[in-house]
Amino acid sequence: MLGIVLGLAVAFAKLGRNSWLAAAATVYTTLLRGVPPLLVIFLLFFGTNGALMWIARGFGYAGYIEVDAFTVGVLAVAFVSAAYSSEVFRGAHAAIPKGQFEAFAALGLPPVVGLWTVIMPQMLRLALPGLGNVWILAMKETTLLSVISLAELMRVVGLAGRTTGQPFVFYGAAAIIYLVLIAMSSRAFKAVEARMRWA
């Protein structure tokens, strides 16, 4: 969800009139979509630790600082999904007929009000299928967080499989859990799509 909200902000930065913001947003999406998610996780985990320790040394603290793995995991998945979500929103914005923009301008609505009441509902309806794919992708990317010792599903079943000597049972259970979660998410997105189609 954080990635979707951040992706919307990045999309509007790319669509806005400020060339500096648009360029920064373009660089962000290009980098995050071009770099493997595992590398993003490592860079955030070790880079954040290094940055905090460097700042702490400036204040005279020489100890070791470790960032919470859960926080790094959430940020890593959010940043990657935001890059993909921004492109989904940008595509949805481009699919809206120009007449819709002219219509709210002709009604005398301020740009912010017109964007919120006329354009945004149409953008969300058009973006939903793509956002559903990003959601599922983000869900599967969480499996990579085991590399920073975060106790997510794959790490837990891996430990359980090694401890009991029955890896197939636990990995099979994990596969079923992921399939159920993804099936439920797909149904939820389809239900929202159908509701927005008739709204």
47 Cβ contact partners less than 8 Å away, ≥ 6 residues apart = none
146-189 pLDDT per residue, tens: 877 777 888 888 889 888 888 889 999 999 999 999 999 989 98
Phi, psi (degrees; rounded to nearest 5) at 29: -65, -35
Domain boundaries, the chain: 2-147, 151-199
CATH number corresponding to 2-147: 1.10.3720.10
The confidence band for 5, taking pLDDT boundaries of 50, 70 and 90, is: very high
Please answer whether residues 158 and 146 qualify as being in contact, where contact means their C-beta atoms are separated by less than 8 angstroms: yes
91-122 pLDDT per residue, tens: 998 888 888 877 877 877 777 777 888 888 88
